[in-house]
Structure 1
Amino acid sequence: MLKAVTFLKESTQAGMLSWSAQSQAVARFGLRYHEVEALALENGIFPARYQRNRNMISIEEQLKLFRSRVAVIGCGGLGGYVIEELARIGVGHIVAIDPDIFEEHNLNRQILSTPATLGKAKVEAAVDRVAEINPAVTVTPIKDYFCLANGSEQLAGAMVAVDALDSIPYRLELAEFCTVAGIPMVHGAIGGWYGHVATQLPGDTTVQSIYRHWVAGKGIEQQLGNPAFTPAVVASLEVAEACKILLGKGELLRDRKLSIDLLEMEVHEISYPKVPPVELVVAA
């Protein structure tokens, strides 16, 4: 490793390590891109791919993102954009959870879907996409549903859980699990021109409050559908919240919801005082 570090330092220009130099290190020392990026950041060297981060994210913070593990539950409309942006900003480990394959109706909005990926598992497409855009990021694919029964295994080690689900019951289970497991949760939902985002820390009840009047069904998305732009907007806000949690900076959307109306171009903030959480029981 010492020779690799020396090579990286000698290859650095203006404090930056080019992608070409990283690739040479991979080939010369038999390392993975993940290992090369770790060596660079740990030795105060900024990979050049992150140079536009530097005015807002220090090298210490970039290393913190690289050492972070984020679980993305749902890899469709919201989740695909979330995974794309987490990988591009440099979050080092992403857990992608989704049981589904791509179908033709996904093509209008899901960034991981293409005609070539129809019939392919969404989590496999996530692995391939991240390997293409940032090979230093590790993706763990889990082709399964999230529920209370398997949450401990799926979200083990996660520092943040990003909700990209399209099912209210599963969202409520995720909120319940995150409270018990002590994992911050970033919640996002979309439908037509509309969407909302909220952040729930362990012990909070924002998500339960948002859906306190829910009776049955998957949600408004089923009636309104989804265009290409709504998931991109909401997912970007979710990624911003996740990064703030990981870096411990900024003010979170805690105990409040940001409601977005892209048709009228209006954004509203709605407060949610804490209420006693509803206990969910897993059927035997």
Structure 2
Amino acid sequence: MKLVAEIKARSREVEQAGGRVPVLPVAEELALAREGGFSQKEIQLAALGAGILPARYLRNLGTVGLAGQETLLRACVAVVGAGGLGGWIIELLTRMGVGRLIVIDGDSFDDNNLNRQLLATQQNLGQAKALAAKERAAQLNGAVTVAAHVVWLTGENAREYLAPAQVIVDALDNLPARFLLQEAAGELGLPLVHGAIAGYQGQVMTIFPGDPGLDLLYPQGQAGRDRGVEVQLGNPAATPAMVAAWQVQETIKILLGQGEPLRNRLLYLDALGGTAEIIQLLP
């Protein structure tokens, strides 16, 4: 079976604002994988190379484009933490078509995760979060491969697990782990998209190698603290989704070279007050 010829034969055109666009329907993508023994990633990449958009990405077209979609499909992002923030981040990156995800989390689902963690269900309580992330991604987009590591990130294993990534996303919930992650990202020369939540508030910042990053946010001595104000204020359902969405936008911007990352700037979100503020941390 000649893949490109089959893709062209099974594609159809749809009307878009800029004209007609050839697309490959999801049903045809799945049929090709089943009948021809191709992976969905092979099919999607071949379609994009032939100027045919996998139909699942049609709503990405205006912002990402064909070339951008191919870039995303060839990209690799590490998400450290698969709980409140991480579940949403993994969901959105998978739907956007980021082709390879590295998910690192040593924790398993507990009852109190059900209020806010997208990947937590009544049926998977006790399951490792990283494995649930892998299962969820497979349900959404078969072209996305997930390397799921049921481990806690340490100074000893960080390089091994994070090295293949182009961007690292911080979905952690404590300061010591965040500072460890920032150090590892700097040593690997990789950008780190930081996010944190507490009650109705959240923050996002992108840290590039050499940037002071978290040191600008937390005074000396605070780095040794474990969980902080988020324990007192709790984590209502919508706050992780709000912050994770911004973290994913930052990640996509970095991968595609679009816009201005939040470098040395903190996005502070207050859902209770209905405000979003950019705080300049360095001149």
TM-score (norm 1): 0.94
CA contact (8 A) 1:206 1:272 kept: no
The CA distance in 1 between the partners of 2:176 and 2:99, in whole Å, is: 30
Given that 1:244 and 1:250 are in contact with CA atoms closer than 8 Å, whether structure 2 keeps it comes out as yes
Q: Is the 8 A contact 2:79 2:101 kept in 1?
A: yes
Match for residue 75 of structure 2 among 53, 63, 68:
68
Is the counterpart of residue 231 in structure 1 residue 231 in structure 2? no
Which one of 184, 187, 190 corresponds to residue 177 of structure 1?
184
Question: Which residue identity lines up with residue 90 of structure 1 in the other structure?
Answer: G
Unaligned runs of 5+ in 2: 14-21
Aligned-residue offset at 1:251: 0.8
Where does residue 116 of structure 1 map in the other structure? 123
Counterpart of 1:217 in structure 2 is: 226
CA deviations 1:139-189 (Å, max 9, x no partner) are: 110110112211111102100000000010110111111111100000000
SS in 2 for 1:197: strand
Report the equivalent of 2:149: 142
Q: Secondary structure at the match of 2:246?
A: helix
Aligned position for 2:16:
none
Q: What amino acid does structure 2 have at the position aligned with 1:27?
A: R
Secondary structure in structure 2 of the residue aligned to 1:95: strand
Give the match's secondary structure for 1:189. Answer: strand
Contact 1:163 1:186 in 2 (8 A): yes
For residues 262 and 154 of structure 2, what CA distance do their matches in structure 1 show? Answer: 25
SS in 2 for 1:55: helix
Unmatched 5+ stretches in structure 1? 275-284
SS in 2 for 1:260: strand
Question: What displacement does 1:212 show?
Answer: 2.4
Deviations 1:222-249 (A, max 9, x none): 1111000000000000000000000001
- In the other structure, the counterpart of 1:282 is none
For the residues of structure 1 that align with 2:189 and 2:202, how far apart are their CA atoms? Answer: 26
- The secondary structure found in structure 1 opposite 2:60 is coil
Equivalence for 1:49: 56
What secondary structure sits across from 1:115 in the alignment?
Answer: coil
Cα distance in 2 for residues equivalent to 1:205 and 1:219 = 21
Shift of 1:131: 0.7
Letter in 1 for 2:47: A
For 1:205 and 1:241, the matched residues in 2 are separated by 18
In 2, Cα distance between equivalents of 1:146 and 1:211: 21
Between the aligned partners of 1:9 and 1:35, the Cα distance in structure 2 is: 14
Q: Which runs of 4+ in 1 moved over 4 A?
A: none
**Which whole-Å CA distance do the structure 2 matches of 1:150 and 1:211 have between them?**
25
Q: Confirm or deny that 1:251 pairs with 2:260.
A: yes
What percentage of aligned pairs have identical amino acids? 44
Q: Deviations over 1:56-99 (max 9, x none)?
A: 11100000000000000000000000000000011000111100
- 1:92 paired with 2:112, answer no
> Which secondary structure does the structure 2 equivalent of 1:116 belong to?
coil
Partner of 2:30: 23
Structure 2 CA distance for aligned equivalents of residues 79 and 217 of structure 1: 18
Counterpart residue type for residue 257 of structure 1: L
Aligned-partner SS, 2:226: coil
